[in-house]
């Protein structure tokens, strides 16, 4: 049984807020490994979606 169910980022009530510091830091790490740039001014939802995509691209995803 999963005790920490994940919510779809589109359902986050704070999803339209600016990305968090940890999201930004991790995104820069992933983007550097993937040879991509991180767009400025991402929301939490956009950052989460980009993290998912870059994790797949870099092999860091689960």
pLDDT per position in the chain (62 positions), as tens?
A: 555 556 666 666 676 889 999 999 999 999 999 999 999 899 999 999 999 999 999 998 76
What's the rounded Cα separation, in Å, for the pair 14 and 56? Answer: 25
Q: What is the pTM of this model?
A: 0.77
* Closest alpha carbon to 23 in 55, 48, 49, 57: 48
Domain boundary assignment for the chain: 18-58
């Amino acid at each position: 049984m999963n005790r920490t169910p994940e919510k779809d980022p589109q359902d986050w009530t704070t999803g339209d807020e600016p990305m968090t510091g940890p999201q930004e830091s991790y995104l820069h790490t992933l983007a550097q490994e993937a040879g991509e740039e991180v767009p400025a001014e991402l929301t939490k939802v956009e950052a989460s979606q980009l993290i998912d995509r870059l994790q797949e691209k870099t092999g860091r995803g689960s």
